[in-house]
Structure 1
């Protein structure tokens, strides 16, 4: 698997260098952030995101079903958005599906910039969303 990942990394790095120049590598411009919430010592919510250049992409925001509606997701997003602003991030993107949290993300200021009908299967819509930070 390392040979495959090394190949992928090399191609992406070459593309990055061609586009942005050799000042910094893609790896130096990228970071992964994980934020968590616990209740009584138990993990109940996680936000994970990948930062690259001036964009952050939320890869996961999950809250235990027993804790949903308690403000944990909103709290994690607020903390992350503050961290992103401090790092000079100008946009945050994410993807969600019709059975997940599209309505929640709209309430907290994300907007749909693309949607795919019947993905990953018939009857489900996948939404791509963005929030621009000022």
Structure 2
């Protein structure tokens, strides 16, 4: 009997990756460099973590999944430095594009100032009254 159940990501992800790799190979295109997986950079003040960035590196792409700086540390360009660090990582690893998403109550203007361009937006996502913006930057 077939069933759908909660599962551990570390068990499901390799199976899905294998299917995606097979699909890509079927295209006849050259296989791109494999990803390094998830990366993270932290901002520390006297050993205390006060900000950070998490991204997924896959093939020639870096997707920033999370970026935040504690309110007491905002306005000190720490977010900009995190973005610049991720971009430097991207250049070192031959990344072509960096993408990310943010919500209307978060940091859309910040990403614009960092040189990111909106490539999509969805109103009322994830709830009414909120717009989610999707950004891209080519390195």
Give the TM-score of the pair, scaled to structure 2.
0.83
Q: Which residue of 2 aligns with 1:67?
A: 73
2:131 to 87, 112, 125: 125
Q: Which residue of 1 aligns with 2:3?
A: none
Distance 1:47 1:6 in 2: 24
How many residues align? The count is 130
Q: Residue deviations 1:61-84, cap 9 Å, x none?
A: 111111111111101111111121
Structure 1 runs not aligned, ≥5 long = none
Superposed CA RMSD: 1.9
Mean Cα deviation higher: 92-101 or 13-22: 13-22
Higher helix share: 1
Q: Which residue of 2 aligns with 1:16?
A: 24
Q: Which residue of 2 aligns with 1:54?
A: 60
Structure 2 runs not aligned, ≥5 long = 1-6
1:30 is aligned to 2:35: yes
Secondary structure at the aligned position of 2:82 is classed as helix
Distance 2:93 2:119 in 1: 24
